[in-house]
Structure 1
Amino acid sequence: MHVGYLSYPMLFQRIGGLQSRIRATMEAVKQLGVDVEIVDTARSRLKDYDIIHVFGSMNGNHRIVEAAREMDLPVILSPLVSPAWDHAAGVRARLAESIVGRLTDWNVQTTYGHIRRGLDLANLVIALGEDEKKAIISGFLIEPMKIKIIPNGIGDRFFVADAEFFRSETGIGGDFVLVVGSISPYKNQLAVVRALTDPPFQIVLIGPAGKQDQDYLQELLQDSRVKWLGALEHGDPLLASAFAAASVFALPSKGEVFPNAVLEALAGGTPVVMTSQSALCLPESEFALRKVHWDDQTQLRREIIDLSEQRPPREAVRKLVQSYRWDRIAREIVDCYEACYANA
């Protein structure tokens, strides 16, 4: 069975969660004997593969699904649909799609139409959690039987990371709040800085900053408590060690589907305060995982202080995500490949 991975063309020109997820998924399923690679569309034909796995439902990825289905290839789609797509949002989007279509003689389609097209054509849709599954059903009218829930996996290195490595390499000692993600208003790092003026926590930022976000970065760095370490590769041991060394991990972004960084922080035994605009749901996790609205700095401050002062036992935090280790998650993904291949 030969599996090809695809997403939008410029994906791997950036550093981010989706890029890391694709590479980690590929390495994990390879360990189970699956022949898998990222498709180079300039050199390979889709028909050279037995299954196509598409990551992301935006940026024209519906065209990949269309092309593969025209060749009678089975397609698995990991769409990364925001939980904000409820029934009402779907109704409004379909109305807008209809209006735009009529006004342009159906020569223009909306992003909603592109996402739904990919979801409709895919043989199997993999949702990262129950909230994303609900959004796919309610917002895009996809049959529940077509959707399989398989969360992101976590590499073993995050469970065994040594906090002292980070401290010795960076010289950062004492308690600090860690934020990992692209430096941008969407990721909302400034909310952490503003929320923690008293007491004066150290704040460590890890992530790339694009040209369009340089002013935002400089605003962050005006605060002397902020230390920016730039972008780190997902496999860099310093990243795993940073998760283990932090007192609290914060991610108050405006929206996250199923953030890898949160899982990796918990695997390192570090409690998390994150955005409530997310599909991530861990049962009985309140002692180590708190959710706040992205623009509620008062609640953000309260939760960070509470978790830092009454830090939960590391092993108890790690247990929250033990089932997300890559060996188990990869087995579920391979089972999907084998089922689709057999049905095809």
Structure 2
Amino acid sequence: MRIGILSYPMLFQREGGLQVQVRETVAALNHLDASMSAELVDPARQKLSDFDVIHVFSAFNGNFRVVESAVELGLPVVLSPLVSPTWNRNAGFRARVADRLAGRICSYNLQTSYAQTKRALQLADLVIALGEAEREAIINGFLTDRAKIRVFPNGISRQFFTAKGELFRHRTGIVGPFVLAVGAVSSYKNQLGLARALEGSELPLVMIGPVAREEHDYLQSILKSPWARWLGALDHEDPLLASAYAAASVVALPSQGEIFPLSVLEALAAGTPVVMTQDSALQLEGSETMLRKVAWNDQAGQRDAIVGLASRPPERTSVQSMVEQFTWQRVASQVAACYRELVPAKAA
């Protein structure tokens, strides 16, 4: 079985959770079964019709056209949409009203991103959500049939489970307690709010992640704090990244919204507790002592949660046990079962 993997054209021009998800899924699928071959499709050089199944990652950035093309060719389509859990019935209703108004104003020569996402979800044969919150958002916000949605959380690369903090401390000279924020530096990720929340706590903030040109001023605003430090971007496979997670007292992700953030899973795999935004699809039963969720704009709540975890850290092995089931091999076996389910159905 030949599986074609696609997303939007500029996907790999930056680094983030989706890029890791795509690469790790492809690699795990190709190690799973000799009869199965997964590869990233180059639409300029390859035809969709050369593949048995098309798997599209992200329902945004024009990817609905990929889904449409595959469906027109009679190919089964799996869609990993990455829908924000903030979508609910009210948000979906407002978006549909706005879409109709925009259509009337422009003589229906304009499609909103909501309409494009909704079409991709409706056309796909199977939809893979990363958690229950995303599944409910797909159903309630985009009126998608519940029966065709599967829930498969992301995996975690093994190097994070075995990481030690010594490498990071030796390379950076940071020896005391600190809070780590991993991800693109931007107002959406809210590192400035985090820096302000940590003022006076004696917990310095260390940031790892890329900075877009338009966010340089934002970065400089953060670095005005003598307690904030930016180490630049690191490759996902760089041992220094895994070591940073292990060395940190707390990992913080106070962004305005997340779907199923890999940085949180990786931090827990390294044995480090996390404080993150409450607007997320990530749900881990029994994780209250090591994973705290706080509103992205609640600086006092963030500070209290971070200081509390840093002063009374949970046992590292118990933190790791919360996520030991999240492997890319498990993800690959679940996704492969979807492919096998679809191919006979289409052939019939």
Aligning the two structures, in what range does the TM-score lie when normalised by the shorter sequence? over 0.9
Letter in 2 for 1:29: L
Aligned pairs, number = 344
- TM-score (ref. length: structure 2): 0.97
Q: How far apart are 1:30 and its partner, in Å?
A: 1.3
| CA displacement 1:40-75 (0-9 Å, x = unmatched) | 111101111111110101110000000011101111
Write the mapping of 1:1-344 to structure 2, written as runs, cut at 5 A: 1-33=1-33, 34-344=36-346
Q: How far apart are 1:4 and its partner, in Å?
A: 1.0
Give the secondary-structure state (helix, strand or coil) at the position aligned to 1:249. strand
| Whole-angstrom distance in 2 between the partners of 1:94 and 1:274 | 31
Q: How far apart are 1:342 and its partner, in Å?
A: 2.1
Q: How far apart are 1:341 and its partner, in Å?
A: 1.8
| Whole-angstrom distance in 1 between the partners of 2:201 and 2:318 | 27
Q: How far apart are 1:143 and its partner, in Å?
A: 0.8
Give the secondary-structure state (helix, strand or coil) at the position aligned to 2:275. strand
| Whole-angstrom distance in 1 between the partners of 2:87 and 2:80 | 16
Letter in 1 for 2:10: M
| Whole-angstrom distance in 2 between the partners of 1:158 and 1:342 | 38
Give the secondary-structure state (helix, strand or coil) at the position aligned to 1:285. coil
| Whole-angstrom distance in 1 between the partners of 2:331 and 2:175 | 35
Runs of 4+ in structure 1 over 3 Å off: none
Report which stretch shifted further, 93-102 or 279-288. 93-102
Give the secondary-structure state (helix, strand or coil) at the position aligned to 2:150. strand
Letter in 1 for 2:308: D
| Whole-angstrom distance in 1 between the partners of 2:63 and 2:31 | 27
| Whole-angstrom distance in 2 between the partners of 1:189 and 1:238 | 21
| CA displacement 1:279-333 (0-9 Å, x = unmatched) | 1111010000000000000000000000001100011101111111222222111
Give the secondary-structure state (helix, strand or coil) at the position aligned to 2:138. helix
| CA displacement 1:183-232 (0-9 Å, x = unmatched) | 10000011111011112212110000010000011111122222211111
Report which stretch shifted further, 26-35 or 211-220. 26-35
Q: Once superposed, what is the RMSD of the aligned Cα atoms?
A: 0.9
| Whole-angstrom distance in 2 between the partners of 1:90 and 1:223 | 40
Give the secondary-structure state (helix, strand or coil) at the position aligned to 1:190. helix
Letter in 2 for 1:240: A
Gap regions ≥5 residues in structure 1: none
Q: How far apart are 1:336 and its partner, in Å?
A: 1.2
| CA displacement 1:109-160 (0-9 Å, x = unmatched) | 1111000000000010000000000000111111111100001110111111
Report which stretch shifted further, 223-232 or 179-188. 223-232
| Percent of aligned pairs with the same amino acid | 53
| Whole-angstrom distance in 1 between the partners of 2:2 and 2:151 | 23
Q: How far apart are 1:252 and its partner, in Å?
A: 0.2
| Whole-angstrom distance in 2 between the partners of 1:224 and 1:48 | 56
Give the secondary-structure state (helix, strand or coil) at the position aligned to 2:186. coil
Letter in 2 for 1:261: S
Letter in 1 for 2:244: A
- TM-score (ref. length: structure 1): 0.98
Give the secondary-structure state (helix, strand or coil) at the position aligned to 2:325. helix
Letter in 1 for 2:92: G
| Whole-angstrom distance in 2 between the partners of 1:143 and 1:101 | 25
| Whole-angstrom distance in 1 between the partners of 2:80 and 2:109 | 27
